[in-house]
Amino acid sequence: MPDAASVSIPAMASDHAALRAACEPGTGLCTITAIEGSFSRRLGAQLAVHPDGSVTGSLADGCLEKQLASEIATGGARRVVRFGAGSPLIDFRLPCGSGLDILVDPEPDIEACRAALARLEARQPATLALPDNPYLAERLYVPVLRLLLFGEGPELEAAASLGRVSGVEVETFDKDGSGALSLGRAPTDIEVDPWTAVVLLFHDHEWEQAILQWALGTPAFFIGAQGGQAARDERSARLQAAGLSDEELGRISSPIGVVQHSREPVALALSILASVVGEYELIHPHHRHGRG
């Protein structure tokens, strides 16, 4: 059996890593096309197996990866293999007791993989046809999460650092150093798409209004701003006076993060990132079929 050593990749980048690897000749591609019960990966999760038996991506705890590397090494036609509950492989079981149908493709369509990857790199959604299986006709992809951070100080630095380590595309705009920011003026020349989150981390809240009005005119899936109750009340009053509706104001998440009232920069950054990633997961086209 091949040594299915895993290629380490940041968590948020892993969704596209197997597709990227499958663009290279000799690399096999495995895709979860059906899940019976609960499982720790979503429908459509993928694993690439390189010619040397190493893998890119992960589907379980390593045992499944080794089994799939062995399947790819045998070559043959594209096929669906059942693992776990209901599988004829009686000596292989999934610890969660679930059943998986995985499309094993020793020779994926390289040009189709490259076309899908090119769309993703252009921040467009993409699809990859999955022939010869009765369950999932195509794998759907969305661009990687992009995080636009506006603010100042250690909170901005911590959020940027944690985001990048996690594989998020991060751009920072510091009021003390970024030419893209000017007090009272909307940001310019910044592209925002439906897979972008905008987060404001200011202590000096007078910087917020122009940025928030700009952000509310974009398709960003998440807009958040830090601040205590007094800052939030003042912010809402200013934006209402500027003519923004209650529906528009409802798009602003504040206080921000899954842990309320975080006062330490790294804890705040973790809290914010968890909140943003949670919202991003909800817009993934396969999210309903994750853990079951």
Indicate the domain borders of the chain: 6-143, 146-282
Q: Are 261 and 255 in contact (CB under 8 A)?
A: yes
Helix and strand counts by DSSP (H, E) for the chain: 8, 13
* pLDDT (0 to 100) of residue 196: 97
- pLDDT tens-place string over residues 135-157: 999 999 999 999 999 999 999 99
Q: What is the pTM of this model?
A: 0.86
Burial 98-125 (b: 16+ CB within 10 A, else e): bbbbbbbbbbbbeebbeebbeebeebee
User: Exposure of 131 by Cβ count < 10 A (0-12 exposed, 13-18 middle, 19+ buried)?
Assistant: exposed
- Rounded Cα distance between 202 and 85, Å, is 52
* pLDDT (0 to 100) of residue 12: 54
What DSSP designation does 10 have?
Answer: -
* pLDDT (0 to 100) of residue 179: 61
- 146-282 folds as Rossmann fold (3.40.50)
Backbone angles phi, psi at 117, to 5 degrees: -65, -40
- Rounded Cα distance between 73 and 89, Å, is 17
- Rounded Cα distance between 141 and 43, Å, is 12
What DSSP designation does 61 have?
Answer: S
Segments of the chain with pLDDT less than 50: 1-2, 6-10, 290-292
